[in-house]
């Protein structure tokens, strides 16, 4: 049985369906564990201490995203795969060791500088609104988390190697183990080390993230040897490919950092409210937006390579409407039942009513731009398929500047609460989606705008009516039937109301003849045929 289990875990996924289903399932599991982690944080610590944890996480994550994720998300897998196919396994592993050595050493050097200069960086740029005592706590915790990020670098490169060999199960499970390590730190170490125990959990999670993958990459033939070959052709190619993408990533990270810094100026706990609301909002974006956009990329790339631009346009519009079909009602649900959702996920003795209301308000304003964010993921990949990486970066820079200006105006000038950062993010997300779509519109010889707007307006109408329909049972059941001070009653109330609203939505889109409903109905009908499809010989295209 053990042998069969390892054989399954190490198996090669050769169909699009098998790989996509694994990614979807493990992403869901990782998201759930992430919410469990947040719930435990809210249960063990008060919001002012959780503020310190998320503020400490910002700087290590900033440098990780720019230095490591920029290389992995754009360049490593296609370059490694090219070496693997053209020059053989040993040459590909030599390239991987050179890339890992160069980027690992660069990350170590940056980490040392951050470790030394953490105090002025934290006090001036990350948490300017904290007291000096709290800033020192952030510095201490930042230095602990930095060590975890160093280990995470190795695990992240292991993911790139495994996915290049079309092994998806273990790499997809690694984020699950990362969250599990953080949960272990909160549960077992916080009683001895306080909030620093959660930081130790990050280190444990990073270790598990790498360790769970080591047997697989070892079985594939990879051996870790530190190589500082800065002039290796693979290193040069990756540097060239990631240069433009890194600018976009840096802009996004600066945007998040400014948002967190502004939250520290609002009130104690605002960093926690903003972070928790963001974690809830990104769940439907990740499940519906990211997965569909990722699945569309190889199709779009193939259509572009064959010069089939009309088919390319149809794929963009079809996938965009499929994303909107799922994310628009998800956004409406989060907006209308924001308080019950926040209470269910984060409701704990230390997370009081004021924290719930502010987190709920922030979630509602963030959710206004939820569908736009999900659609932008697809449109950006449309540009990638056209081998245009500059346009998304230019749009990203424009939107980041807009978001920062709006956030500063709302927080510093108008003195609004933390929810205003969510409002600024949503306005910026809508502007981003419009700019990306309009630019792509002219780049591909124009879409049929009637084809674009007709399904969108129908879904928008159905979503608006669904939102009203959702509000009514929530108020009636809350006031008359359920005692929502009890978790089980709150869960039943939320479940019944959400199911009623979704039923209304489905009936409306059916009445309005929105064809995306037929697409998903047909998909559910094919669930029984998964076993045969998983055994198909459809080769999975390599994606960035």
Span 137-167, pLDDT tens digits: 999 999 999 999 999 999 988 988 887 787 7
Instruction: Give residue for tokens 């479940």.
Output: 495
Q: Quick one: pLDDT at residue 383?
A: 87
Q: How confident is the model at residue 186 (pLDDT cuts 50, 70, 90)?
A: very high
Tokens of 499: 């199911």
- % of the chain with per-residue pLDDT over 90: 52
Domain count for the chain: 1
Torsion sign (Cα): 203, 205, 210, 214: positive
Q: Quick one: pLDDT at residue 153?
A: 92
**Residue 76 domain flag:** yes
CA distance 10 to 216: 7
Note whether 55 and 271 are within 8 A (CB): yes
Q: What is the dihedral of CA 525, 529, 534, 537, to 10 degrees?
A: -100
**Residue 287 domain flag:** no
**Residue 74 domain flag:** yes
Note whether 425 and 255 are within 8 A (CB): no
Note whether 387 and 78 are within 8 A (CB): no
Q: How confident is the model at residue 356 (pLDDT cuts 50, 70, 90)?
A: very high
**Residue 69 domain flag:** yes
CA distance 149 to 107: 9
**Residue 87 domain flag:** yes
pTM summary value: 0.87
Higher pLDDT residue, 258 or 250?
Answer: 258
- Residue among 419, 380, 217 at smallest CA distance from 300: 380
**Stretch 294-308: mean pLDDT:** 77
CA distance 497 to 475: 10
Highest mean pLDDT among 116-130, 240-254, 490-504: 116-130
Tokens of 236: 């040069």
- Residue among 198, 213, 212 at smallest CA distance from 160: 213
- Is it the case that residue 12 has pLDDT exceeding 80? no
Task: Give the model confidence (pLDDT) of 217-251 as tens digits.
Answer: 998 888 877 777 777 777 888 887 777 778 888 88
132: number of Cβ within 10 Å: 9
Domain hosting residue 42, numbered range: 13-254
Tokens of 228: 């500082």
**Residue 133 domain flag:** yes
CB-based burial, 477-491: b 16+ in 10 Å, e otherwise:
bbeeebebeeeeebe
Instruction: Give residue for tokens 């306080």.
Output: 194
CA 142-147-151 angle, 5° bins: 140
Note whether 323 and 378 are within 8 A (CB): yes
Tokens of 175: 């984020």
Q: Quick one: pLDDT at residue 540?
A: 40
- Residue among 55, 150, 160 at smallest CA distance from 108: 150
Q: Quick one: pLDDT at residue 524?
A: 66
- Is it the case that residue 2 has pLDDT exceeding 90? no
**Residue 361 domain flag:** no
145: Cα within 13 Å, side-chain hemisphere: 27
**Stretch 43-53: mean pLDDT:** 94
**Residue 271 domain flag:** no
Q: Quick one: pLDDT at residue 21?
A: 60
- C-alpha dist (Å) from residue 23 to 14, 27, 148, 163, 167: 14, 6, 24, 11, 11
- Is it the case that residue 65 has pLDDT exceeding 50? yes
Tokens of 533: 């499809």
Q: Which residues contact 348 (CB under 8 A, 6 or more apart)?
A: 39, 42, 43
Residue 232 region, left (φ>0) first, then alpha (ψ -120 to 50), else beta? beta
- Is it the case that residue 451 has pLDDT exceeding 90? no
């Amino acid at each position: 049985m053990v042998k069969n289990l390892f054989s399954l875990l190490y198996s090669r996924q050769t169909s699009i369906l098998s790989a996509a289903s694994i990614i979807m399932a493990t992403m869901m599991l990782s998201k759930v564990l992430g919410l469990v982690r947040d719930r435990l944080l809210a249960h063990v610590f008060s919001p002012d201490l959780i503020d310190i944890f998320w503020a400490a996480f910002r700087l290590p994550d900033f440098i990780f995203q720019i230095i490591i994720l920029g290389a992995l998300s754009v360049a490593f897998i296609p370059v490694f795969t090219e070496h693997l196919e053209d020059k053989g396994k040993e040459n590909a592993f030599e390239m991987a060791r050179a890339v890992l050595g160069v980027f690992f050493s660069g990350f170590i050097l940056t980490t040392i500088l951050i470790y030394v200069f953490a105090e002025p960086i934290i006090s001036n740029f990350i948490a300017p609104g904290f007291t000096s005592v709290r800033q020192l706590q952030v510095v201490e915790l930042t230095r602990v988390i930095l060590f975890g990020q160093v280990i995470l670098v190795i695990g992240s490169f292991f993911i790139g190697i495994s996915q290049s060999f079309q092994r998806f199960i273990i790499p997809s499970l690694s984020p699950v183990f990362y969250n599990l390590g953080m949960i272990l730190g909160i549960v077992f170490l916080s009683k001895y080390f306080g909030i620093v125990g959660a930081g130790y959990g990050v280190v444990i999670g990073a270790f598990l993230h790498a360790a769970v993958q080591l047997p697989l990459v070892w079985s594939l033939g990879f051996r870790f040897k530190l190589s500082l070959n800065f002039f290796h052709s693979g290193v040069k190619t990756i540097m060239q490919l990631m240069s433009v993408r890194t600018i976009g990533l840096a802009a996004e990270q600066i945007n998040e950092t400014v948002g967190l810094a502004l939250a520290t100026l609002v009130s104690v706990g605002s960093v926690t409210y903003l972070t928790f609301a963001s974690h809830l909002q990104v769940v439907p974006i990740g499940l519906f937006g990211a997965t569909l956009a990722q699945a569309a990329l190889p199709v779009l790339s193939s259509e572009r390579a064959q010069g089939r631009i009309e088919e390319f346009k149809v794929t963009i519009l079809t996938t965009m409407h499929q994303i909107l079909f799922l994310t628009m009602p998800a956004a409406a649900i989060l907006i209308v039942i924001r308080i019950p959702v926040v209470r269910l996920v984060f409701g704990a003795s230390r997370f009081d009513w004021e924290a719930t209301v502010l987190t709920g308000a922030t979630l509602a304003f963030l959710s206004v731009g939820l569908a736009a964010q999900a659609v932008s993921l697809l449109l950006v990949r449309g540009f990638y398929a056209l081998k245009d990486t500059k346009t998304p970066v230019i749009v990203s820079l424009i939107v980041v500047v807009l978001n920062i200006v709006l956030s500063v105006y709302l927080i510093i000038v108008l003195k609004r609460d933390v929810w205003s950062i969510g409002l600024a993010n949503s306005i910026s997300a809508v502007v981003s989606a419009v700019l990306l779509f309009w630019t792509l519109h002219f780049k591909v010889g124009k879409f049929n705008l009637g084809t674009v707007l007709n399904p969108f307006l129908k879904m928008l109408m159905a979503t608006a009516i669904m939102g009203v329909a959702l509000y009514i049972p929530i108020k009636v059941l809350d006031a008359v039937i359920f005692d929502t001070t009890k978790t089980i009653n709150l869960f039943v109330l939320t479940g019944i109301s959400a199911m009623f609203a979704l039923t209304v939505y489905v009936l409306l889109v059916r009445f309005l003849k929105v064809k995306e409903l037929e697409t998903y109905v047909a998909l559910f009908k094919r669930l029984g045929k998964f076993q045969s499809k998983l055994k198909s010989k459809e080769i999975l295209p390599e994606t960035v």
